[in-house]
């Protein structure tokens, strides 16, 4: 993610710099006004480029899962491209509105860069694009605020977020019509055209409802269980459109069209019968009331599978350490379920962190599955029993100087704590795999 975003920022900045060198940058203005003008152009270029990337990634391009490390990473890149894009839009607005007023107050209008003159249709379109860009800016800024405000209801956020393709098209028109004319004879113009095309494709693809359609299967709920007050087990039978899955992958599930799709990890292995099960934790308004609204026979749509939290990607030369926290145990349930079908010589230490091991709904299932797999050493850590997992517990499983590969799924706080502690004691011998499963 960082490499992709950093590379995009560098390429756009380089293209902008090439134009400055090619045109001289002055355009008849004095230095303060030239700096202000070029800052306006650069911030605008960076903003629309990042928003174009975010718009394209919103189409869930499965072919990017391999280079980016999974659909969760694609969505994380989409999220940060959007945040950075709006941030540069704020800079663009400040340079336009605030810096311009400051320069007028300090040195007056003298030395200001003359505006390009247009007539007829082009003049009308530029005026429209300027107004549309300003309206869209205020709206995407508000959207960023409610996206970062986690207490804002997901259902309302989803409806608001669906307006983004239209807002992007308004911003794309603003960028294309107000870009300097000389840009279209420079590499920066080619870059705007390429990124704009990708973004417009993403916006139109979203508006016509094509996102995820090719990977969508319909089905019905065949079983519902509630192993704990805050956990719901849902099993679904899907139609022939389901292409199967690998243990550890996730899917977007729609139980209610008004609510939309939610991502959940598939908690069962693929047995070739198109049956999938999910362990759903009550973490919000939607998941807390789901058990009351679902019944056997309920229609369901499942889109996927996605993700690269895949046992087949393990490094066979490294010692395996698996860490699950709470409902983060679901991909490991699928892994263990898969190993029951095809026993192998997989060797790993599985650490499961729970609040109360005595009443945890998954402990018995983990113990039963691991009992049939001699190579999997299960460690249960119950917080109420004073068995909190530490980096020392993880490192204790390491065999001499052999490298270890850690596969983690659980709370972000626990992940950061273990990463820091292992970084101090591990001396680079631990490789950490973790899904970025926060889609908002």
The answer to whether residues 71 and 200 belong to one domain is yes
Which pLDDT does position 124 carry in this prediction?
86
The answer to whether residues 119 and 201 belong to one domain is yes
Q: What is the DSSP string of 25-48?
A: S-TT--HHHHHHHHHHHHHHHHHH
Comparing C-alpha atoms, which of 360, 223, 357, 230 is closest to residue 297?
A: 223
The answer to whether residues 190 and 241 belong to one domain is no
The answer to whether residues 28 and 65 belong to one domain is yes
We report the CATH number of the domain holding residue 336 as 3.40.50.80
The answer to whether residues 291 and 404 belong to one domain is no
Query: Could you tell me if residue 27 is inside a domain?
Result: yes
Which pLDDT does position 354 carry in this prediction?
94
The answer to whether residues 199 and 243 belong to one domain is no
Query: Could you tell me if residue 272 is inside a domain?
Result: yes
pLDDT band at residue 112 using 50, 70 and 90 as cut-offs:
confident
pLDDT band at residue 331 using 50, 70 and 90 as cut-offs:
very high
The answer to whether residues 22 and 135 belong to one domain is yes
The answer to whether residues 342 and 197 belong to one domain is no
Query: Could you tell me if residue 98 is inside a domain?
Result: yes
Q: CA end-to-end span of the chain, whole Å?
A: 16
Strand ranges inside 243-389, DSSP E: 250-254, 262-265, 275-281, 299-306, 319-325, 348-354, 376-382
Query: Could you tell me if residue 404 is inside a domain?
Result: yes
Indicate if the alpha-carbon torsion angle 324, 327, 332, 333 is positive or negative: positive
Hey, what are 65's tokens?
């899962």
Strand-strand pairing, 376-382 and 348-354: parallel
> Could you give the CA distance from residue 40 to residue 91 in angstroms, rounded to a whole number?
8
Are the C-beta atoms of 11 and 191 separated by less than 8 Å?
yes
Query: Could you tell me if residue 439 is inside a domain?
Result: no
Which pLDDT does position 73 carry in this prediction?
92
Query: Of 207, 231, 262, which closes a domain?
Result: 207
Residue 397 has pLDDT above 80, yes or no: no
Hey, what are 434's tokens?
């973790």
Query: Could you tell me if residue 130 is inside a domain?
Result: yes
pLDDT digits (tens, 9 = 90+) for 71-86: 999 999 999 999 999 9
pTM: 0.90
Comparing C-alpha atoms, which of 13, 38, 1 is closest to residue 191?
A: 13
The answer to whether residues 188 and 77 belong to one domain is yes
Give the Å distances, CA to CA, from 85 to 82, 92, 94, 219.
5, 10, 14, 38
Query: Of 154, 185, 207, which closes a domain?
Result: 207
Total domains in the fold of the chain: 3
pLDDT band at residue 401 using 50, 70 and 90 as cut-offs:
low
Query: Could you tell me if residue 264 is inside a domain?
Result: yes
Residue reference for tokens 């998941």 = 287
The answer to whether residues 38 and 75 belong to one domain is yes
Longest dimension (CA), the chain: 82
Which pLDDT does position 426 carry in this prediction?
63
Residue 400 has pLDDT above 70, yes or no: no
Which pLDDT does position 16 carry in this prediction?
95
We report the CATH number of the domain holding residue 281 as 2.40.30.10
Query: Of 188, 207, 226, which closes a domain?
Result: 207
The domain in which residue 345 lies consists of: 312-434
Hey, what are 1's tokens?
């993610």
pLDDT digits (tens, 9 = 90+) for 265-321: 999 999 999 999 999 998 877 888 898 899 999 999 999 999 999 888 888 888 899
| Out of 176-185, 243-252, 338-347, 425-434, least confident range | 425-434
> Could you give the CA distance from residue 171 to residue 262 in angstroms, rounded to a whole number?
28
Residue 437 has pLDDT above 80, yes or no: no
The answer to whether residues 295 and 152 belong to one domain is no
The answer to whether residues 269 and 411 belong to one domain is no
Average predicted confidence (pLDDT) for the chain? 90
Query: Could you tell me if residue 36 is inside a domain?
Result: yes
Q: What is the DSSP string of 171-211?
A: HHHHHHHHS-GGGGGSHHHHHHHHHHHHHHHHHHHHHTT-T
* Residue 212 CB neighbours (<10 A): 18
């Amino acid at each position: 993610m960082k490499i992709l975003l950093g590379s995009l920022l560098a390429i756009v900045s380089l293209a902008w710099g090439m134009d400055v060198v090619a045109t001289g940058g002055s355009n008849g203005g004095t230095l303060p006004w030239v700096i202000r003008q070029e800052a306006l152009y650069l911030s605008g270029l960076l903003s629309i480029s990042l928003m174009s990337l975010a718009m394209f990634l919103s189409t869930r391009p499965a072919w990017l899962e391999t280079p980016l490390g999974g659909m969760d990473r694609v969505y994380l890149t989409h999220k940060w491209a959007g945040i950075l894009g709006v941030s540069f839009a704020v800079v663009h607005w400040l340079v336009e509105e605030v810096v311009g007023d400051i320069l007028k107050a300090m040195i007056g209008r003298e030395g200001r860069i003359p505006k390009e003159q247009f007539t007829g249709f082009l003049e009308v379109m530029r005026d429209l694009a300027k107004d549309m860009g300003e309206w869209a800016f205020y709206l995407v800024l508000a959207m960023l605020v409610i996206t970062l405000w986690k207490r804002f209801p997901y259902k309302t956020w989803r409806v608001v977020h669906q307006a983004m393709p239209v807002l992007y098209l308004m911003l794309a028109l603003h960028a294309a019509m107000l870009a300097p004319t000389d840009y279209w004879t420079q590499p920066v113009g080619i870059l705007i055209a390429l990124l704009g095309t990708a973004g417009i494709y993403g916006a139109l693809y979203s508006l016509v409802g094509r996102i995820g359609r090719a990977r969508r299967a319909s089905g019905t709920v065949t079983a519902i269980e509630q192993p704990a007050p805050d956990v719901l087990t849902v099993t679904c039978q899907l139609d022939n459109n389901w292409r199967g899955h690998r243990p550890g992958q996730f899917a977007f599930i729609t139980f209610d069209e008004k609510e939309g799709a939610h991502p959940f990890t598939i908690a069962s292995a693929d047995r070739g019968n198109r049956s999938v099960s999910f362990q759903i934790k009550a973490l919000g308004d939607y998941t807390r009331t789901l058990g009351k609204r679902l019944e056997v026979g309920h229609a369901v749509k499942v889109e996927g599978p996605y993700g690269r939290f895949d046992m087949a990607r393990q490094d066979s030369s490294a010692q395996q350490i698996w860490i699950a926290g709470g409902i983060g145990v679901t991909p490991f349930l699928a892994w263990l379920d898969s190993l029951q079908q095809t026993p192998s010589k997989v060797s790993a230490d599985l650490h499961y962190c729970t609040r109360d091991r005595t009443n945890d709904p998954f402990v018995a299932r983990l113990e039963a599955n691991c009992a049939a797999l001699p190579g999997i050493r299960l460690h249960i850590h119950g917080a109420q029993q004073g068995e909190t997992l530490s980096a020392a517990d993880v490192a204790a499983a390491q065999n001499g100087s052999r490298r270890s590969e850690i596969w983690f799924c659980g709370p972000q706080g626990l992940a950061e704590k273990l990463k820091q502690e292992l970084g101090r004691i591990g001396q680079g011998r631990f490789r950490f795999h973790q899904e970025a499963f926060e889609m908002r």
